[in-house]
Amino acid sequence: MDRIEILGGHPLYGEIRIQGSKNSALPIIAATILHRGVCVLHNCPKIIDVRYMIQILIRIGCEAHWEADTLVIDASGLDSSDIPAEYAEKMRSSIMMLGSLLGRTKEASIPHPGGCVIGKRPIDLHISGLSRMGVDFRESKILEAKAQKITGCPVELPFPSVGATENLILAAVLAEGETRINGAAMEPEIFELCRFLKAMGADIQGEGSPEICIRGVKELHDVEYTIIPDRIVAGTYLCAAAATKGQVRLLNPPKGQLNALLTIMRQMGAVCRQEDGTVVVDATEGTHGVALVETQPYPGFPTDMQSQLMAALAVADGKSTIREMIFEDRFKAVDGLVKMGAHIQINGKEAVIEGVSGLAGTTVQAEELRGGAALVIAGLCAQGMTYIENRVFIDRGYEDICRDLKKLGGNIHSRDS
Ligand SMILES: CC(=O)N[C@H]1[C@@H](OP(=O)(O)OP(=O)(O)OC[C@H]2O[C@@H](n3ccc(=O)[nH]c3=O)[C@H](O)[C@@H]2O)O[C@H](CO)[C@@H](O)[C@@H]1O
Ligand SMILES: C=C(OP(=O)(O)O)C(=O)O
């Protein structure tokens, strides 16, 4: 079984470069098929989800290869709209192929997407928005979508779903007329998707705000683009610094995207500085709990950081409460943290954490990506050995978490057996 082994109990010190962003790279890779030509993506993270996405593109007739950390995609040969289940069911972002295939071929056949099992994760908002643009859906085990023509129109999202916003943008880029999305998600990954599409020739305004306007264009052109650093990976390493009472500097922090996390870290008593384009978190004087952290759509506190913050609060002085507002089942790391000695009580959407003075290493199971990262953080501050099984979940989003944490002084190794 693939696992991570950690001998904990040491503060993390040092500086680290952050990999390219998973949640930015994946919709952008899906977007490349809108263009009958070549897209060059620099700083693309070599994570499992990106590798699956590449396999999907190859299976539908595209060409893709790596040049160091640059991914080159040539979608001119696309000849199928059938997304293979063996990859689609393993990742959430396979659903982004819906909007881009509709944009390119006016049809798509896609199994229900996989990804982290952290709630029901329906796709009703994707379907209702695309239906308004003229797409007919037939749903059985596989989602079949077809349109005579995709027509721009106003779409109101009752909740700022990241994925639904991305799918609507993707379908609208080559549509006839203007699509105006109201209630759009404002996550930086939406802004970046639009920046990429605009660099390819799309006509988009308002990205980063709740109202995005896309005017359909006839065709796109070749593009070269650099994926931004991953704000969740960056935040994970800052939480590891806080949990181990260490000091970590991010050499290439995602610009302006860590504010919600840094606000909480300051409330915990960590010293957070922005210096010459880097971000430093110094928790060497110890940390204390925070009254309430509530996850919210951007620019609120990100749900993708909730588990890692919980691991840091588990060893902070005093009591904290986390309220998870985005997903119904995102306290998957709690069993493992409690097994390691954390005091955490779950009551519906809320987790109440009583900080303890230390954790003890043991064997725990990663059940999903960020929960797995939280167990790694716990292992780094626990006394003795921690064994985290199912590393594969963590590898979905972290290029090499052991390599990165080793650079910061962690005694951490990966084992395959
Ligand atoms: C690959 C990717 O970028 N994944 C991110 C994306 O996931 P994802 O795009 O799946 O997240 P959404 O923003 O769509 O989901 C947020 C909430 O809306 C609900 N919902 C969503 C769509 C829909 O049609 N109907 C519906 O009810 C979901 O069940 C969830 O409760 O945004 C999440 C919220 O920031 C992050 O945690 C994920 O890391
Ligand atoms: C929930 C996540 O990913 P996905 O949406 O790909 O499952 C995540 O990145 O934390």
Nearest residue CA, atom 19 of ligand 1?
121
- In this structure, are 189 and 250 located in the same domain? no
Share of residues in the chain with pLDDT > 70 (%)? 100
| Residue 219 Cβ contacting ligand 1 at under 6 Å | no
Q: Is 121 annotated as a binding residue?
A: yes
- In this structure, are 370 and 331 located in the same domain? yes
- In this structure, are 217 and 234 located in the same domain? no
| Residue 116 Cβ contacting ligand 2 at under 6 Å | yes
- In this structure, are 202 and 345 located in the same domain? no
Domain of 83, CATH number, reads 3.65.10.10
pLDDT, tens digit, for every residue of 81-107? 999 999 998 899 999 999 999 999 999
Q: Catalytic: which of 62, 116, 194, 239?
A: 116
Burial-class residue 130 by CB neighbours within 10 Å (0-12, 13-18, 19+): buried
Number of structural domains in the chain? 2
Task: Give 204 Cα–ligand 2 centroid separation in angstroms.
Answer: 26
Check: complex ipTM more than 0.90: yes
Model pLDDT, residue 1: 64
- In this structure, are 220 and 233 located in the same domain? no
Q: Is 146 annotated as a binding residue?
A: no
- In this structure, are 119 and 68 located in the same domain? yes
pTM score > 0.90 for this model? yes
Model pLDDT, residue 96: 97
Active site residue 116: yes
| Residue 249 Cβ contacting ligand 2 at under 6 Å | no
Alpha-carbon distance of 282 to 210, in angstroms, equals 35
Polymer length in residues for the chain: 417
Alpha-carbon distance of 254 to 306, in angstroms, equals 18
- In this structure, are 276 and 342 located in the same domain? yes
**Alpha carbon distances (Å) from 140 to 89, 109, 133:** 15, 11, 21
Pull the structure tokens for residue 318.
């005093």
Indicate if the pLDDT at residue 115 is higher than 80.
Answer: no
Q: Which residue has the higher pLDDT, 255 or 97?
A: 97
- In this structure, are 262 and 289 located in the same domain? yes
What mean pLDDT is predicted for residues 269-294? 97
Task: Give 184 Cα–ligand 2 centroid separation in angstroms.
Answer: 19
Q: Is the dihedral of CA 389, 392, 395, 400 positive or negative?
A: positive
Nearest residue CA, atom 10 of ligand 2?
304
Nearest residue CA, atom 9 of ligand 1?
163
Which of 21, 394, 396 for mutating ligand 2's site (highest number of atoms within 8 Å of CB)? 396
- In this structure, are 288 and 245 located in the same domain? yes
Q: In the chain, how long is the greatest CA-to-CA distance?
A: 63
Mean pLDDT of the chain: 97
Task: Give 117 Cα–ligand 2 centroid separation in angstroms.
Answer: 9
| Residue 115 Cβ contacting ligand 2 at under 6 Å | yes
**Model confidence band, residue 173 (pLDDT cutoffs 50, 70, 90):** very high
Task: Give 103 Cα–ligand 1 centroid separation in angstroms.
Answer: 21
Model pLDDT, residue 331: 97
**Model confidence band, residue 116 (pLDDT cutoffs 50, 70, 90):** confident
- In this structure, are 274 and 364 located in the same domain? yes
- In this structure, are 161 and 258 located in the same domain? no
End position of a domain, from candidates 176, 208, 226? 226
- In this structure, are 210 and 251 located in the same domain? no
Q: Which ligand is nearest to the CA of 185?
A: 1
pLDDT, tens digit, for every residue of 330-375? 999 999 999 999 999 999 999 999 999 999 999 999 999 999 999 9
Task: Give 92 Cα–ligand 2 centroid separation in angstroms.
Answer: 7
Give the residue numbers spanning the domain of 33: 22-226
Nearest residue CA, atom 4 of ligand 1?
23
End position of a domain, from candidates 184, 206, 226? 226
End position of a domain, from candidates 195, 226, 257? 226
**Model confidence band, residue 290 (pLDDT cutoffs 50, 70, 90):** very high
